Structure 1
Amino acid sequence: MRQMMGLGVATEPAWRGMASQRWRHVKAWGHEWGWLAATLAWLVVTAWARPLALPDEGRYVGVAWAMLTSGDWVVPQLDGLPYFHKPPLFYWITAGSLSLFGPSEWAARAGPLLGAAAGTVAAFLFVRRWWSASVARAMLLAFATQPLAFVGAQFANLDMLVAGCIAVTIFSFAHAALEAGLGQRPSRRVLVAGYAFAALGVLAKGLIGLVLPGVVLLAWCVASRRLRVVPWLLWPPGLALFAAIVVPWFAAMQWRFPAFAHYFFVVQHFSRYAQGGFNNVQPWWFCAVAIAVLCLPWSAWLVLPRRGGLGGAEVPALRSLMWSGLLVITVFFSIPQSKLVGYLLPVTWPLALLVADKVTPLTGEGHRRRLWAGSLVLAVAACLAAVTAFALRGDHSTRDLSRPLATQLQPGDQIFFLHDAYFDLPFYARLRQPVRIVEDWGEPDIAARDNWRKELADAARFAPDRAATSLVTPAQFGALLCSGSNSWVVGHPANRARYAALASAEQVATAHETVLWRVAAGVSREACPETPSPSSAGR
């Protein structure tokens, strides 16, 4: 009995110590995940604050809205026509979000928010495992307060979604490579994540989801002399998983539309990258300058000397990985003539980690700590100012036009877009049928200009019968206005003088130099001389 009591007395402090240690571990993880949760909440906080921007947000959300309302979740459609500029992942996520949460701006931005969240979680876990918790926390702050990342996470197009997939792919395979370098078998769960997100990146924006992380990782393996780990990463089950995720949709589109593969891969990938003739032509130095400006004040930290000694023996390899990502992505997108700032979003995570490597902001002291605090305040202000500027400008949104249209629209009414594409209006007005877009579709230079006209003309080739209804010439427009149905016309006020039938139209609303007209059934005889008046009927 005494022995038993003695055993109990002797072991009680050990049990308490184990429980205390476990509790401290739980508190530490709760603390770290609190930082991560706060970062993700910050990225969402102003996602509702501005209308969808034209043309990009209106176009991509419009495709998702058409997917939801039509019930066709396989073929992306732009104004009822097959739209194969990009794969369907963004549309699937957005349509699902709109179905779950209802049609609102923040629900329409679920795709980029999920991309930003996925990349940030992967970066946080990777840095915490291979570097240190303090560097991971600093990385979160430096990433989330880059204006480029903050706005990108709330901009409803494909760029942040594919950037997040690329980030997860890079961090997953880098984790596996570091394990292999230590003589360990790479974690299967990490390899599954790497291959799965490479596949999702392809479904988000095409081959760039596979090519870009592959080039970054290969450059890093060469720079850090670890090419021997590459065979460890070429995991047959992972390759099978990649194919299982990617192949079905592409095979289905090629089976239904024989011209799909040439258009999607040759025209929209290789020609767009290697040839001219596309929008947003910029000089070779554009990408480097855009990163330097749009990531201020953190981009300025890259020139500061490094502080610290934090982390283990693999830290030099991690720095090499971050520099490889930053430089390879910048050079890769500097090569084509067409350049957009959204392409550069994958650099935001390596840049944030290189900044975090400069200081231990939460434990450091002196001048560097004050510089960090000042930079953080400036960065937050810059993020909020960017969103405010977008909200005040409105980017020619038709949200204000959609309200009277949605309340007054009657079954059988016709809707026309006049010499422009207001792709956000179907979303805001809750339209469930394609509108008719009036343009001189026979002009030969439509194919030579990279704009909405060419997009719709390209889409018309995949469904010419539907295009005959959706794409209307000016002559057809005049006849349709005289068809006896109420018509709603959206266009620039200068177009009114071009069409006699608009002379008697009611101007219902105006926003950003765009007018909503209502043309009542039975317009005047002067506008439609071929239409008999009531007094002449039966003569």
Structure 2
Amino acid sequence: MMKQSSMAEFLWGHRGRFSYLLIAALLLLFTLLGARELWTQEHRWADIVFGMFYRNDFLHPYLGKLRYYDKPLLSYWFIAAVAKLTGALTTWELRLPSALAGLLALWAVYRLGAKLRDRQLGLLAGWLLLTTFYFVFWARTSSADMLNLTGSVCAVAWYFEKRENAGFFAYFIFFTIVALTALCKGLVGMIVPSIAVLVDMCMQKSWKQHLRPPLFIALIPAMMIYLFPFWASSYFGGESYGQNGLYLVYRENILRYFQPFDHKGPIYTYFLYLPIYLLPWTLFFIPALFTLKSRWKTMSNSSRWIAWTLLLLFLFFTLSGSRRSYYILPIVPFAVLFTADWLLSDAANAVKRRLWSAGWIVTVFLLLFLTLDILQTGYYLVFGPDRFATALKEEAGKIKPWDSWRIVSLDAEAKLSFYLQLPPDYTAYGIKGDRKKQAAEALEKAWPIIKSKPENTIFITRKVYAPALQSILAGYRMVEVSYPFQATFLKEDDINAPVAFMPDNPLV
């Protein structure tokens, strides 16, 4: 217990410093950030930003050859800005905006906790957030979701910093943060901070204090900031693009909320996923939730604000017709504050809980660092698709320069286009039916190009098709990645492993 007491004192007690939290966050969020291969939806951001550079058009997003304005532009622009500064577009550049947003979110939670109660709450909430698995996961993933979380909690933190003497500048910054957040993912970036602020205004009865001309005047330039990218994409080349960004905001946010056309999870979706998204701190969150009724009368107004905000945010997401697991992510900082506030309460056994939480923080930090930063990196250094891309380019370069080859995808994984740096208009074929049941005749019918065998063409595909294609592509040799003998058993049955068929004679 003495050791745990010292850890608690060091993490959030009198010896605690935000700089310690910052150093830990830099280690956990940035170590080998680009090592993991693209994960599912990351390819969407990779493809869209690569296409922006390829077309030299940053106002009209395309997913491959398809117009794709389903998300506003700002999350793509952040990645493009990083790529422009570094001169490259790799997985590191793709993820850097999310990792930086994760740092900013930790600072905002710390400031919000300190303002609500004291720096102890701010530091403890920061450590809990940093050691929440899905916070770290999304901070190391290229998407708009961590940007959305960060913008929401930053707006709320700014409101609490300035609510006592807010003027035009304070309102302008608040609305600008909200506008930029909405430009990353959608209107949910406006709703989350609005609910949190409205709860506080109701509790403080401060409507008259804020509903003054400076607030409405400050709203005007923030609205202009929000509308500018949509105006620009419509004014410059909008007629040829054919998609209206503001209509898609309505479709993806308002229409999806009330009349969902996809992602129709059951009403209990977030009852399952909020505890999952809080792991490992669900261990303390659930007891904090169950003791809420007995604690209510002795809770401070700030503690009640956290509880009300968490409840109303949960209801807002639950009442949406469209539900997916990660939509709940913006609630996580408020749930963490709720948990930290309970841990610091004066209830019986509170000291013991705090000591246990200190040990858990250190243990979970080390586990997350080992699994997400180190072990994943080692795995993908051996099995990652970048190894295949490097091997294919080397083999192709022995015959003729890589840029002079034509690449055709035969139902290959979409992320390979990023690793091979293929142009958005490269030729790609899909497949219908079970991949494991495709005979040579069926493949020839689905992919007529393998019968014509055009010159200077390399076919990339999946290992499952290799036996059938070897009988069709006479005069071609198969290129695949060889694995170290001690790790072969991990991949020997992977039917989706990438392979390529390359003619020994490029004129074949």
**Could you state the TM-score of these two structures normalised by the residue count of structure 2?**
0.76
Amino acid of the residue matched to residue 124 of structure 1?
Answer: Y
How many angstroms apart in 2 are the aligned matches of 1:383 and 1:197? Answer: 30
For the Cα contact (< 8 Å) 1:170–1:213, is it kept in 2? yes
- What CA deviation, in whole Å up to 9, does each residue of 1:290-344 have, x standing for no partner? 22133233233232469xx9xxxxx934323322332233222223454333222
Q: 1:129 to 1:146 in 2, by over 3 A?
A: same
Please tell me whether residue 319 in structure 1 is matched to residue 303 in structure 2.
Answer: yes
Please tell me whether residue 286 in structure 1 is matched to residue 269 in structure 2.
Answer: yes
Query: What pairs up with 1:73-222 in 2 under 5 angstroms?
Result: 73-101=58-86, 102-177=88-163, 179=164, 185-222=165-202
For the Cα contact (< 8 Å) 2:258–2:320, is it kept in 1? yes
How many angstroms apart in 2 are the aligned matches of 1:523 and 1:337? Answer: 54
- Quote the residue 2:498 is aligned against: 515
- Quote the residue 1:20 is aligned against: none
Q: 1:433 to 1:58 in 2, by over 3 A?
A: closer
- Quote the residue 2:389 is aligned against: 402
Match of 2:405 among 413, 423, 426: 413
**Could you state the TM-score of these two structures normalised by the residue count of structure 1?**
0.72
> Unaligned 5+ residue runs, structure 1?
1-27, 180-184, 310-314, 446-472, 525-532, 534-539
Following superposition, the deviation at residue 350 of structure 1 comes to: 1.5
- Quote the residue 1:273 is aligned against: 257
For the Cα contact (< 8 Å) 1:168–1:193, is it kept in 2? no
How many angstroms apart in 1 are the aligned matches of 2:350 and 2:228? Answer: 55
For the Cα contact (< 8 Å) 1:507–1:515, is it kept in 2? no
Query: What pairs up with 1:435-514 in 2 under 5 angstroms?
Result: 435-439=426-430, 474=446, 477-478=449-450, 482-494=453-465, 497=468, 501-502=472-473, 504-509=475-480, 512=494, 513-514=496-497
Amino acid of the residue matched to residue 374 of structure 1?
Answer: G
Query: What pairs up with 1:216-365 in 2 under 5 angstroms?
Result: 216-223=196-203, 225-232=205-212, 235-255=215-235, 256=238, 257-261=241-245, 264-279=248-263, 281-302=264-285, 303-304=287-288, 316-336=300-320, 338-360=322-344
For the Cα contact (< 8 Å) 1:169–1:197, is it kept in 2? yes
Q: 1:148 to 1:316 in 2, by over 3 A?
A: same
- Which has the higher Rg, Structure 1 or Structure 2? 1
CA RMSD of aligned residues (A): 3.8
Match of 1:56 among 35, 41, 49: 41
How many angstroms apart in 2 are the aligned matches of 1:72 and 1:277? Answer: 30
How many angstroms apart in 2 are the aligned matches of 1:247 and 1:374? Answer: 48
Following superposition, the deviation at residue 358 of structure 1 comes to: 2.7
Amino acid of the residue matched to residue 401 of structure 1?
Answer: F
Q: 1:348 to 1:192 in 2, by over 3 A?
A: same
- What CA deviation, in whole Å up to 9, does each residue of 1:254-279 have, x standing for no partner? 34044424751343333433345524
For these two proteins, the number of residue pairs brought into alignment is 450
What secondary structure, in the 3-state scheme, does the structure 1 residue paired with 2:500 have? strand
What secondary structure, in the 3-state scheme, does the structure 1 residue paired with 2:459 have? strand
What secondary structure, in the 3-state scheme, does the structure 1 residue paired with 2:184 have? helix
Amino acid of the residue matched to residue 341 of structure 2?
Answer: D
How many angstroms apart in 2 are the aligned matches of 1:245 and 1:94? Answer: 19
For the Cα contact (< 8 Å) 2:267–2:318, is it kept in 1? yes
Q: 1:78 to 1:259 in 2, by over 3 A?
A: closer
Q: 1:35 to 1:83 in 2, by over 3 A?
A: same
How many angstroms apart in 2 are the aligned matches of 1:64 and 1:506? Answer: 33
For the Cα contact (< 8 Å) 2:129–2:135, is it kept in 1? yes
Q: 1:35 to 1:348 in 2, by over 3 A?
A: farther
Following superposition, the deviation at residue 154 of structure 1 comes to: 0.8
For the Cα contact (< 8 Å) 1:416–1:436, is it kept in 2? yes
> Unaligned 5+ residue runs, structure 2?
1-12, 434-444, 482-490
Following superposition, the deviation at residue 69 of structure 1 comes to: 4.3
Following superposition, the deviation at residue 146 of structure 1 comes to: 0.9
How many angstroms apart in 1 are the aligned matches of 2:73 and 2:261? Answer: 25
For the Cα contact (< 8 Å) 1:172–1:194, is it kept in 2? yes
Following superposition, the deviation at residue 103 of structure 1 comes to: 3.9
Following superposition, the deviation at residue 250 of structure 1 comes to: 0.7
Please tell me whether residue 370 in structure 1 is matched to residue 355 in structure 2.
Answer: yes
Following superposition, the deviation at residue 49 of structure 1 comes to: 6.5
How many angstroms apart in 1 are the aligned matches of 2:274 and 2:500? Answer: 43
More displaced stretch, 257-266 vs 87-96: 257-266
- What CA deviation, in whole Å up to 9, does each residue of 1:392-441 have, x standing for no partner? 886x9632321123333623322222235513x2332344554222137x
